[in-house]
Structure 1
Amino acid sequence: MLRWIIFIIIYIVITIYGFQAIRTVTKSTWIHYLFLAIALIVVGNFLFQFLSSSEGRVLNPVKSYAFGFLLAFISFNLVIIPILLGEDIIRFILGLYDRLVTTKDVFYLPSRRKFISQVAVGLAAIPFASLLYGMYRGKYRFRVLNYTLHFEDLPEAFDGYKITQISDIHSGSFDNKEKIEYGVNLINEQKSDVILFTGDLVNNKSSEMLPWKDLFGTLKAKDGVFSVLGNHDYGDYVDWDSPDEKAQNLVDLVQLQRDMGYDILLNESRFIEKDGQRLAIVGVENWGKGGFKKAGDLKKAAQNIEPNDFKILMSHDPSHWEAEVIDDDYHYHLTLSGHTHGMQFGIEIPGWIKWSPVKWRYKYWAGIYKEMGQYINVNRGFGYLGYPGRVGIWPEITVIELKKGTSTT
């Protein structure tokens, strides 16, 4: 309860600053009341949605939108605070100077300047509008990213082999069937040789996927669809009535993927054979640093493959690649991960800038990286979680073409 009290106090303080800016910019009373009404509705809805839940950290679309609107409103006020606070410091200095120099009996602060508040509100409108856009359109702004990777030891039969990777579906967040159908069709339109899904099918419960089971079951590729588990697939963020109920949820989720036609790899491997040659698909369960489940067992998953096999590893969390995979005795040519979502917020201009706050948590957070002759692709995710939108970091479908030889670029 204490944390909620602290939250409310902080919310009131930052809202006061936002209100001061609005009141300085315009004298229209109805706008003042509108701002205060929005502040009350946003925080009231957020508290109702999160305090009335008894299932733990379960996120559904209604709760996500409550959080999203709160985040947008708070971001508006947070941009205003440093500007007005800076003005307050100057106002105090001027007031103190006037009191000491003129020896007036009363200390007073100079009035706020309308121009400063106009600048503050104008700047605050940028993240506010961006977050609202991200909720309305950004979360379904699917894009296909194409990469060509060269390997000298790639079996010749797989020269030109195409892989489509998707990750972090988070079906429990979906709220627009038409947009999701478009995304699924876009995956199939790539006509890759194989589709690899790197975990987090749901937010919390296997039942979240039931309305989308038939749609995602239409994903097809010549050599099949393979999948692994992500941290959210285990139901660790739900207050289950019993351990058996939680265990059954995982059983149901695994079976659901098999019913959809996915070959789910639970610390296992498979071979794709072509013209007498083969490449290995290795899939580990979730393994992540920072308090995330470490169910992945790389040694177990690779027990049936040979050192000289060309290996593609599916591991949901990229911290696994950094901690265990790079230095493993086996050379994993390509690792496919997800998990970070690119934080669903950032700035990306190809060839110029790639930035997101998530880079302070994960060294490898989006796109292709290479270490010790091994590649990893960190997919930005198909779905979304928490904040029900995306700003600058759009939902991703990755297509990777394997080429034999050395890159000429």
Structure 2
Amino acid sequence: MLGRRAFLKLFGGSLFGLMALGGYAFGYEPVIRLDVTRYALTPPGWTPGLKLRIVALADFHACEPWMSAERIGSICAHANGLGGDIIVLLGDYTSGTDLITGKVGHRAWAEQLATLRAPLGVHAIVGNHDWWHDAAAQRSGRGPTFSHRALSGVGIEVYSNRSVRLEKDGHGFWLAGIEDQLALRRSIRWKRPFTQGLEDIGGTLAQITDDAPVILLAHEPDVFPAVPSRVSLTLSGHTHGGQVRIFGWSPYSPSRYGDRYVYGHIVEEDRHIIVSGGLGCSIMPVRFGVPPEIVVIDVG
């Protein structure tokens, strides 16, 4: 049995540990830390001789103090130094939590993203929060949202069920981006009985006119079971890697598949998806065991 002195030491030590853990999870990992996570793969159907470096940024969730315009700018500067042939933005630029000290307007975060540079350009899709925080888009049931307009306004290509053919060193490939799968929230006010997605995989891939490999941008990874083998690589965000990971396990994932597509490089039936852990926070401004990350993918 513990004596009073031993109990107080144990209690004090536990309390200090919890305070230190909370300070790290709330004040350090989500605000200061930034990792670069690298993958290298040659998926089926990839053109021999085509070497492509993709730099992927997901889920900024701009807000004060967790993801200020200045922090977004510093992340973009870091991304520019990673030697990407192409930079892709995987959605959710607007705040994902109400626990903020101030908003970062769409013009402010877009101006920071406009500093991104890559030989094959910067290409973007939008995410569920970009739709959910736009009352006009929710009311009308269609875009463009203010995030679509902000990105386009600074010269960033935005994909909404669209495919574009690009080329590097004489080798072609397709970049396809689908619209968000959770775009229109369930709403009694708007007479919408269930959440509706606006993605069109079939229509997007129907725009492809040759056998060059395809890279698909899809904010939520839940679409992956429906992605055909024609797509060489799918890139997603949304899950934040669970935002809390303990020994590789996340207690929560915003996916109907649970932990199946929560983070990392997943291969199913010889089809490849990489799910970014993202950069910002959603619901609660906390990250633990899954620090903000820039993803670098060397393909081929």
TM-score range, shorter chain: 0.7 to 0.9
Asked whether the equivalents of residues 221 and 275 of structure 2 are also in contact (C-alpha less than 8 Å), the reply is yes
Q: Given the alignment of the two structures, is residue 243 of structure 1 paired with residue 139 of structure 2, yes or no?
A: yes
Residue in 2 that maps onto 1:335: 234
- Rate the CA distance shift 1:149–1:393 in 2: closer, same or farther, 3 A: same
- Rate the CA distance shift 1:275–1:176 in 2: closer, same or farther, 3 A: closer
| Alpha-carbon distance in structure 2 between the residues aligned to 1:398 and 1:197 | 11
Asked whether the equivalents of residues 382 and 395 of structure 1 are also in contact (C-alpha less than 8 Å), the reply is yes
- Normalising by structure 2, we get a TM-score of 0.81
| Alpha-carbon distance in structure 2 between the residues aligned to 1:364 and 1:320 | 10
- Normalising by structure 1, we get a TM-score of 0.61
Alignment deviations for residues 40-69 of structure 1 (CA, whole Å, 9 cap, x no partner)? xxxxxxxxxxxxxxxxxxxxxxxxxxxxxx
- Rate the CA distance shift 1:113–1:231 in 2: closer, same or farther, 3 A: same
Q: Given the alignment of the two structures, is residue 254 of structure 1 paired with residue 143 of structure 2, yes or no?
A: no
| Alpha-carbon distance in structure 2 between the residues aligned to 1:288 and 1:175 | 23
Give the residue type in structure 2 aligned to 1:337.
Answer: S
| Alpha-carbon distance in structure 1 between the residues aligned to 2:49 and 2:244 | 40
Q: Given the alignment of the two structures, is residue 223 of structure 1 paired with residue 120 of structure 2, yes or no?
A: yes
Secondary structure at the counterpart of residue 222 of structure 2: helix
RMSD: 3.1
Q: Which of 199, 206, 224 in structure 2 is aligned with 1:321?
A: 224
- Rate the CA distance shift 1:378–1:132 in 2: closer, same or farther, 3 A: same
Q: Does 1 or 2 have the higher relative contact order (CA < 8 Å, sep 6+)?
A: 2
- Rate the CA distance shift 1:399–1:241 in 2: closer, same or farther, 3 A: closer
Gaps (5+ residues) in structure 1?
1-86, 88-110, 348-352, 404-409
Residue in 1 that maps onto 2:206: 303
Paired residues in the alignment total 280
Alignment deviations for residues 85-141 of structure 1 (CA, whole Å, 9 cap, x no partner)? xx9xxxxxxxxxxxxxxxxxxxxxxx9955346435533543432222222221131
> Percent identity between the aligned chains?
26
| Alpha-carbon distance in structure 2 between the residues aligned to 1:161 and 1:130 | 39
- Rate the CA distance shift 1:364–1:307 in 2: closer, same or farther, 3 A: farther
- Rate the CA distance shift 1:232–1:177 in 2: closer, same or farther, 3 A: closer
| Alpha-carbon distance in structure 2 between the residues aligned to 1:263 and 1:292 | 26
| Alpha-carbon distance in structure 1 between the residues aligned to 2:45 and 2:289 | 36
Residue in 2 that maps onto 1:59: none
Larger Rg: 1
| Alpha-carbon distance in structure 1 between the residues aligned to 2:293 and 2:125 | 18
Gaps (5+ residues) in structure 2?
97-102, 186-193
| Alpha-carbon distance in structure 2 between the residues aligned to 1:303 and 1:366 | 29
Give the residue type in structure 2 aligned to 1:372.
Answer: E
Residue in 2 that maps onto 1:234: 131
Higher helix fraction (1 or 2)? 1
Q: Given the alignment of the two structures, is residue 119 of structure 1 paired with residue 21 of structure 2, yes or no?
A: no
| Alpha-carbon distance in structure 2 between the residues aligned to 1:121 and 1:196 | 47
